[in-house]
Amino acid sequence: MPSRVTIYDVAAEAGVSISTVSLALNTPARVGALTRQRVLAAADTLGYTPKTEAVAKARKGVGRIGVIAPYTSYPSVARRLSGVLRAVGGQALEVVVFDQESAAQSTSPLLASLPLTGRLDGLIVVSIPLEESVARRITGMGLPAVLVDVRHPDFDSVHTDDVAGGRLVAAHFTERGHRRFGFVGERQESDRYVSPSARRLSGFRTALGEAGHELPDSGVHFVEHGLGPAETAAKAVLAGKDRPTAVFAGDDTLAAGVVRAAAALGLDVPGDVAVAGFDDSELAQALDLTTVRQPLEESGKAAAELLLQRMAGTTTVREVALRLDLVSRGSS
């Protein structure tokens, strides 16, 4: 049987001192980002995890949970956090927020700099897929964790069905007699994950095919997330001779870019082109935009409730699936 990997092995692999490894794992703010990443990469390579008993003892009674998510990438994430805060409002718990690059923008392992620290009683991971090395690190620490918008067989999760959301939009468009379609989604920089945009496109395209319609590759555009890139892509989609009469965007921000493109081209929405988004954000409400409503606050609340139960000793892995609804407004 191979011997247990120790902190000495990690130090040798990373080319740093034992004290630097200890700081990187337990007090990451005191170590530079590059050094911390080198230590964590070494720990992953060797399969090192701290002793569960020691971490649990250090963490006991801290009264703090962490929520890690791509806050600066998507407005919808803040609404999930609102649900978390509402759920723990009556508890003697502090909520610590960690911002993380979105999966769509990343080409490196996600959560590679996740703090291996005894200063949390639990962790909620929002919209960030777990690589196996990170999953092992969390379970090895004995840290209760819940996932939102992603799934892993070893963790509790709260999610919706993006494929089903795409199908809702396809049904909405076809019921209104549309026959030519377009899609604008967020570009995925890495092929290690299937993005929400890709799942929504899959449901949209499959449902259209079942109804006897085609979504041509020329009508599908993936862009950097943002209003400007979506507008530019939509202009290309809508300027062609056989332009679509209905465009589905991967979220409401991208849909707003499609609406702007239509206006710039002198096209009426929905008379010349119908537009639908995803999330039901305040932007969608302000633009009278048809969209798929996600229960964002509810997902955060459900995740926090699962985490509290997990921290109290629940051991069964649970999945909570929340319903999506199509909200029909003036853009379609």
Give the pLDDT confidence of 193-215 residue by residue, as tens digits.
Answer: 678 899 999 999 999 999 999 99
- Give yes or no for residue 252 having a pLDDT over 90: yes
CA distance 124 to 311: 12
pLDDT at residue number 243: 92
> How confident is the model over 90-132, as pLDDT tens digits?
777 888 888 776 544 443 444 555 555 557 788 999 888 887 8
Considering the segment(s) 162-293 as one domain, its CATH architecture is 3-Layer(aba) Sandwich (3.40)
pLDDT at residue number 192: 65
> How confident is the model over 165-187, as pLDDT tens digits?
999 999 999 999 999 999 999 98
**278 Cβ contact list (under 8 Å, min separation 6):** 165, 169, 200, 249, 250, 251, 252, 255, 291, 292, 294
Residue 254 contacts residue 230 (beta carbons within 8 Å): yes
Top CATH class, 1-48:
mainly alpha
Task: Please check whether the two domains, 1-48 and 51-160+297-321, share a CATH topology.
Answer: no
CATH number of 51-160+297-321: 3.40.50.2300
Residue 65 Cα distances to 28, 75, 94, 136, 179, angstroms: 16, 22, 6, 19, 49
Domain extent listing, the chain:
1-48, 51-160+297-321, 162-293
Q: Which of 52-56, 72-76, 285-289, 326-330 has the lowest mean pLDDT?
A: 52-56
